[in-house]
Amino acid sequence: MPYDEYTADRIREVFDRKKVGYREIKMMGGLCMMVDEKMCCGLLTNKEDEQPLFMARIGPDAAPDALNESYVQAKAFNIRPMKGYVFVTADGIDAEADLESWIDRCLAYNPFAKSSKKRKK
């Protein structure tokens, strides 16, 4: 199942309102938002309940504490845990303020994130 387009539009609106330059890449069966050519956050669909999952790249220091919050998990279905990332269930991003808070965390970490290495052609 493809990602939830309504939630993707909500994410786009937050980026646009904050005047953050980003580009979208479809990957892992979902959508990733790239800021400064680094993965910032993304959107997947939980294969178990078909609800959106927000993939937040908040950094290896912040991720362990975030896992203590409601609606946050370390991994999504068949995706292995990734250092510095957490997955937020639909209930955790239902309110606009909650979604914006998660995006703010991702944007705060983005300047410190490493870019992925470019593959040689």
Q: Residue 64: inside a domain, yes or no?
A: yes
The answer for residues whose C-beta is within 8 angstroms of residue 49's C-beta and 6 or more apart is none
State which residues form the domain around 96.
Answer: 5-111
CA distance 20 to 98: 18
Structural domains counted in the chain: 1
pLDDT in tens, 1-53: 578 999 999 999 999 999 999 999 998 789 999 999 999 999 998 888 888 99
Do residues 30 and 7 touch, judged by C-beta distance below 8 A? no
Is 116 contained in some domain?
no
Is 78 contained in some domain?
A: yes
Say what the pTM is. 0.90
Task: Supply the CATH number for residue 41's domain.
Answer: 3.90.1150.30
In a domain, 10, yes or no: yes
Q: Is 27 helix (H, G, I), strand (E, B) or coil?
A: strand
